[in-house]
Amino acid sequence: MMPKTISYLLDLLASAYEAADWKRIAGRKRSSLDIFQHKVKAASAQQTVPRFTEKLCNSLGLQSIEVDPGVITVLDQHREEVLKTLRRESIYWVLLAEREAKEAKTR
């Protein structure tokens, strides 16, 4: 994947991770990373990146996320590679997204 695509994908995933209400979703017994990884992998079965975003947000109880629509447009231009990568390497991308979300909070 090109660096710009990687950056945009991390922005999208980190925005969704950061916006989720993990206390409500995960409770005490489940890890937010486990839940997020499962939801990312499930949403990656969608045919387009806008549909992936919709499915991911809905599964997290989100009405929207703070991400530039242009990010989704660029990612959709590479939809096959992006969605295939998320299906095959979801744990890795979820870990990167969590780190990105935590770093964004400290800025």
Q: Would residue 76 be called left, alpha or beta, if left means φ above 0 and alpha means ψ between -120 and 50 degrees?
A: alpha
Q: Stretch 80-105: mean pLDDT, rounded?
A: 95
- Rounded to 5 degrees, what are φ and ψ at 45? -75, -10
In this prediction, residue 10 has a pLDDT band, given cuts at 50, 70 and 90, of very high
Evaluate if residue 9 carries a pLDDT over 80: yes
pLDDT digit string (tens) for 67-91?
999 999 999 999 999 999 999 999 9
pLDDT digit string (tens) for 44-55?
999 999 999 999
Q: Stretch 6-31: mean pLDDT, rounded?
A: 90
Contact assessment for residue 43 and residue 55, using Cβ atoms and an 8 Å cutoff: yes
Angle at 47 between CA 95 and CA 85, to 5 degrees: 30
Domain count, the chain: 1
> What's the domain range around 77?
3-20+29-106
